[in-house]
Amino acid sequence: MPAGGGVPGIRRDRAYMSAGSIVLEMAEAARSDLVVPAEDARKRLDQYLAPALNVSRARAQQLISEEKVLVNEAPARASLKLEGGERITVIGPAARPPLRAIAEAIPLEIMYEDDDLAVVNKPAGMMVHAGAGATDDARNLGTLVNALLHHFSTLSGVSGESRPGIVHRLDKETSGLIVVAKNDESHRKLASQFAAREVKKKYIALVHGWVKKESGTVSASVSRDRVRRTRMTTGQSGGREAISHFKVLRRIDSPFGKFTLLEVKIDTGRTHQIRVHLASLGHPVVGDTLYGAPRDLKARRERGKQAIPGAVSLPRNFLHAMELEFAHPHTGARITLSSPLPAELQALLGRLEVPEVP
* Residue 344 and residue 316 in contact, taking contact as beta carbons nearer than 8 Å: yes
Q: Which of 46, 116, 171, 288 is catalytic?
A: 171
Q: pTM score, two decimals?
A: 0.74
Q: Which residues lie below 8 Å from residue 264, measured CB to CB, with a gap of 6+?
A: 202, 203, 204, 205, 244, 245, 246, 247, 274, 278
Query: Looking at residue 15, what is its pLDDT?
Result: 39
11 vs 78: CA distance, rounded Å = 11
Query: Looking at residue 312, what is its pLDDT?
Result: 87
Rounded (5°) CA angle 42-46-48: 55
Work out whether the CA dihedral 165, 167, 173, 174 comes out positive or negative: negative
**DSSP assignment string, 8-77:** TTB--SS----HHHHHHHHHHS-EEEEE--GGGTT-BHHHHHHHHHTS-HHHHHHHHHTT-EEETTEEB-
Q: Could you say which DSSP state residue 98 is in?
A: P
CA-to-CA separations, 3 to 6, 7, 70, in angstroms, rounded: 7, 9, 20
Q: Which residues lie below 8 Å from residue 307, measured CB to CB, with a gap of 6+?
A: 299, 301
233 vs 224: CA distance, rounded Å = 6
Work out whether the CA dihedral 233, 312, 343, 150 comes out positive or negative: positive
Catalytic residue list contains 253: no
* Residue 186 and residue 117 in contact, taking contact as beta carbons nearer than 8 Å: yes
Per-residue pLDDT of the chain (358 residues), as tens digits, is 444 444 444 444 443 444 444 444 444 457 889 999 999 999 999 999 999 998 888 889 989 999 999 999 999 999 999 999 999 999 988 777 666 788 999 999 999 999 999 999 999 999 998 865 444 555 578 999 999 999 999 999 998 888 999 999 999 999 999 999 999 999 999 999 999 999 999 999 999 999 999 999 999 999 999 888 899 999 898 899 999 999 999 999 999 999 999 999 999 999 999 999 999 999 999 999 999 999 999 887 665 555 566 788 899 999 999 999 999 999 999 999 999 999 999 999 999 975 545 5
Rounded (5°) CA angle 110-126-204: 75
Which one-letter amino acid corresponds to residue 55? V
Nearest to 197 by CA among 239, 168, 238, 235: 168
Query: Looking at residue 23, what is its pLDDT?
Result: 41
Query: Looking at residue 192, what is its pLDDT?
Result: 97
Question: How is the chain split among helix, strand and coil, in percent rounded to 5?
Answer: 20, 30, 50
72 vs 5: CA distance, rounded Å = 10
